[in-house]
Chains A and B, each alone.
Chain A
Amino acid sequence: MVDFSWTPRSPLEKALVTGAHGARGIEAGVSLTEVRNFDPIQVMARRGKGAELAKATRTRFGIAAPDAPKAVQTPDATLIWSGPDQFLILSKSGKHTMWTLAPAFTGPASLSDQSHARALISVSGIQARAMLAKLSSIDLHAASFPIGAAAATSMDHTSVTLWRGNDRPDGLAVFNLLVFATFAESLWHTMLDSAAEYGVTVSHSEDFE
């Protein structure tokens, strides 16, 4: 009898090569990090149950779910608006799963497991905005896209959920991009190309915050 092992493989496992890419001899202007250890769950209110869902969310997470294109942080999850009466719950793998969330949300909402459906790419660095401007039609200036701003948009004809996370310790902005898994490698190459002229540091992280 054969022993079967089930090793998960990120959709970016092949494409992502850690280290320095693009322009050399300058301090890297863009940092691209794939965050691997996270689970997204899609939450959609059942018909006429928006208020009930809001209440269940407050009870479960201590804050209201976003009712506009925004991302809100709880101590152990990020809630991102994805449409009227619907949002995504992102948390560290295993923290909030279909099974742990079901008791709180069955009734007011339908849950759909997206834990393997997306890749999460975090973009930061002094040139992050310049690089993203090549791909995105969203105004990412600090005044227009503050911490917690979110958008369901597209980059390179690919659907993405984009939101601004907390700044890095050095004060630079962090843009998070959630992309459908089967598009991830393609978008990754586009992002790397866009960032190349600024010098890029590529890494992956097992820590979803």
Chain B
Amino acid sequence: MAAVSGRSIPETGTTIYRPPYVPVAIGAFAGHHRDETFHATRLTPSHHWAVEQGAVFVDTGLWKRAQWYPRAGEKDWLESVTREVKAVRGGVGFCDVSTLGKIDVHGPDAGAFLDRVYINTFSSLAVGKARYGLMLREDGIVYDDGTTSRLAEDHYFLTTTTAKAGLVMQHLEFCRQVLFPELDVQLTSVSDQWAQFSIAGPKTRDLLREIVDPTEDLSNEGFPFMGAREVALRGGLRARLFRISFSGEMAFEISVPARFGDAMARNLMLAGAPFGVTPYGTEALGVMRVEKGHVAGPELSGTTTAADLGLGKMMSTKKDFIGRVMAGREALIAPDRQVVVGIKPTDKGRRLRSGAHIIPKGQTPGPGNDQGYVTSVCFSPTLDQWIGLALVERGRERIGEIVHAHDPLRGEDYDVELCNPVFYDPDGGRQRG
């Protein structure tokens, strides 16, 4: 600018003009991006069916997810969600879980690649089987979890949490291209290719026998827990069936190419009609996972190790994996770490709330004796009381201890009992039955 104007640099000074040079209404910049179109949205394959069903939707990242399906006469969300949970635990229900990230992992080194990104082993997984996997960040903190199935010798189908789908894809691409370029492995996002539904409850098989071709063996022997294979459906379509359970019930996940997702929701309603099938939303899904003690986003918070989550035994000692070395740092294996436990209010009628601090009973709350916090709560229709999960210092050694929950934000103080985080069917007989 100095050269152009024939002056020295000090005379010219710093160029301070930036467009816009004249006032412009903010609305001109916002343009289309306002109200419902403030940002891009993602819709599940059964979205418009769920709208027809009167579902209440919740924003989950960019997604619109069915949160619950109110029925006439229900006075609040809790009544609807409680009905949905009871319907699943006592019969059968289904939920669109297509928002989970889905990745095709191909190539002769696919198993070796997964062994390096997960703390547990996948190269030994048999074709036709699914396994729960946990991955760490380089610093040893838990990154993401999900089930991954082996569909062929050189083809795994990996799932991620909804929230981390894009980030895990980036992480795995980085691992493939930069960290392990010697491995022959190819990754493709198939999140949008498959519509996936969880079907759960003791009558799941009854429903599936209506819709799956009768030649397919769905018995416990023919399709055991953690099985994963393609099946034929009545009416000519083929689907992938995974016997995995988040709810703790006998459950399958079924997936079909996404353009058949709308038809799948409608056909599940038809197939399940004799068994009182009930569509359920993310709230009921969350209630059942807390009842079952499964960790999710609030526990995979970027501060917890595998051991904190009660999953330390999954860390293989026979192979290397991302995060292995750093997970062994002193502070990350300290005996006084805050670990996941269950909590129950001593007053059975009391409502729990996430975020309350855990303090030793009888002490005045303060930073010096803060021993953790409540991560997830729900009203459990199964136990007929509020229950929760919490991260508590030395929690697993203190099962049965009464501690104090201090919630200065809501001005609440009450006692809770530390307990096993698996409130429901701790032996797992229902999901294996």
Contact = CB atoms under 8 A, between A and B. Distances in A.
Interface in B37-80: 37, 39-45, 48, 62-63
Nearest to B49: A9
B184 A6 contact: no
A114 B190 contact: yes
Interface string B176-212: 0000001111101011111000000000000000110
Contacts of A2: 210, 270-271
B258 to A, nearest CB: 4
Nearest to B102: A117
Interface residues of B, number: 50
B32 A4 contact: no
A4 B254 CA distance: 16
Interface in B207-233: 210-211, 233
Given A6-B236, A46-B186, A186-B40, A118 B259 contact: no
B184 A4 contact: no
Contact of B43 (A11, A46, A115): A11
B90 to A, nearest CB: 23
A113 B192 contact: no
A111 B186 CA distance: 9
A118 B270 contact: no
A183 B262 contact: no
Nearest to A40: B193
B139 interface: no
Contact of B107 (A110, A113, A180): A110
B294 interface: no
B260 A8 contact: yes
Interface residues of A, number: 42
Contacts of A111: 106
A100 interface: no
A34 to B, nearest CB: 13
A186 B106 CA distance: 31
Given A2-B270, A44-B106, A157-B40, A117 B258 contact: yes
Contacts of B210: 1-2
Contacts of B271: 2, 4
A190 B259 contact: no
A187 B62 CA distance: 13
B19 to A, nearest CB: 16
Contacts of B32: 156, 190, 193-194
A157 B192 contact: no
Contacts of A114: 188, 190, 193
Contacts of B194: 116
A112 B102 CA distance: 12
B190 A112 contact: yes
A47 B183 contact: yes
A185 B43 contact: yes
A118 to B, nearest CB: 7
Interface in A39-80: 42, 44, 46-48
A14 B47 CA distance: 10
A7 B263 contact: yes
Contact of A110 (B44, B186, B192, B270): B186
A3 B185 CA distance: 42
A112 B188 contact: yes
Interface in A147-199: 156-158, 180-183, 185-187, 189-190, 193-194
Interface in B92-107: 98, 104, 106-107
B325 interface: no
B263 A5 contact: yes
Contacts of B155: 110
A110 to B, nearest CB: 3
Given A6-B235, A112-B106, A193-B32, A186 B41 contact: yes
A10 interface: yes
B260 A156 contact: no
A5 to B, nearest CB: 6
A112 B104 contact: yes
A182 B44 CA distance: 6
Contacts of A180: 191-192
A200 to B, nearest CB: 15
Contacts of A14: 48
A113 B190 contact: yes
Interface of B: 31-32, 37, 39-45, 48, 62-63, 98, 104, 106-109, 154-155, 182-186, 188, 190-194, 210-211, 233-237, 256-263, 267, 270-271
11 contacts: A5-B235, A6-B236, A10-B259, A44-B186, A110-B155, A113-B193, A117-B190, A118-B192, A182-B192, A182-B258, A185-B41
Q: Which 9 A-B pairs have the closest CB atoms?
A: A110-B106, A47-B184, A112-B188, A4-B235, A8-B259, A116-B257, A117-B193, A117-B192, A116-B258
Given A2-B270, A182-B44, 4 more contacts: A112-B193, A114-B193, A115-B257, A183-B192
